[in-house]
Each structure stands twice: as C-alpha cells, then as structure tokens.
Amino acid sequence: MTTRSDELLCENKFVSLRVIRDTAAGVDGYVYAHEARCAGRMVAVLPYKATQFGYRYLVRSEITPCWSIIPTLSAITGGCEGRDVRAEAVRELLEETSFAIKPDELIPLGDSFASKSSDTVFNLFSVNLAGRTAGPPSGDGTPLEARGRAVWVDKNDLTKIPDPLVALLYLRLREQLVDQFFSAGEAL
C-alpha cells in the first residue's frame, strides 16, 4: 500500500509548488518548487581559457531579481526546452555569451540539484574557449538578458561569486583539468 502523495499546491507557466506527504517515511508536508517551463531540467556552463596569467572563466553579470536589482555575477544557465541537453548548453552559451561551439566540444561535469527546496536538476558542462572570439550577441529576447553581459574572471574573483553553481562548476572542472594533466604525465 502506497503512503506517498505528491500534491500540486499552485502553478503558473513557469513554476509550480508541490507538497509531498509520506506517512511511512515520516514526511508530512515537504513543500518544493518545480520549474514547469523546463520540466525541471536546466543546463549550466562554465567556459574557460588558459592565458599567460593562468586560467580565466566566463560568467554572467546580470540582474537576478530574486537576488538583487544590481547586476550580480552568476553561472551561465538556461532551461531545457525539449532538446538534447548538449544542444541546450550550446544554445545558452551562444545566447548569453555570443560564443558559438559544437556539442561535442562540451566537457560534461555531471548533474546537480538546484537546492533542497526544488526538484530542478542541472546538467553541468564546461568548454575551452582558448583562441576564440565571441560573435554578435543573440540573447533570448528578454530585457534582463539583453542588459546582461559575459565577463571573464580569474580564480580569485570566481570564488567570491555568490551563485553556488559557479563554485560547483569550478570544482568539477578543476578535477577534470587535474586528471588531464596527470593522465598526460605532466606535473602541476
């Protein structure tokens, strides 16, 4: 006999609030958000390039109203709109930074939940943009995205960004890069 229920509390075209109850597990009224616009699936990308001064990382400076009305540095993210997650990451990178890449250039960094109050799953990626230049801006047509911009930062700036996705992307990318160095027989 099932004791679990997942009830819809309210919704609009962007998000729904749901409540889980499972008496056998001692859960009585756990409320969480579900991003309806993207079926709870998002992508996040942390591009990088090596320079003579060390690695640089590409993030967004944009207004995120639930955080601040002042532009804040954050991860390059977007909702999956029914396409392959790699295609979505390529599209978001182009919209938010004007860099055009191919899906096979993406470095997969695994998945992550958004928070304990949301069932959103992020597919995490990176890409090496060394030697590339950005094309013309495309954006997604929204005013907030049009006012945002892509910003190259170094590791010290990166670790001060309040968006937790940036820290997770950086840690996972760093692990990938370290593994590449050691598999190539190079010392750090």
Which tens digit of pLDDT belongs to each residue from 147-175? 889 999 999 999 899 999 999 999 999 99
The percent of residues above 70 in pLDDT, for the chain, comes to 94
Map 71-131 to HEC letters: EEEECEEEECCCCCHHHHHHHHHHHHHCCCCCHHHCEEEEEEEEECCEEEEEEEEEEECCC
Which tens digit of pLDDT belongs to each residue from 71-100? 999 999 999 987 799 999 999 999 999 999
Which tens digit of pLDDT belongs to each residue from 94-133? 999 999 999 999 999 999 998 999 999 999 999 999 999 8
Q: What is the pLDDT of residue 187?
A: 46
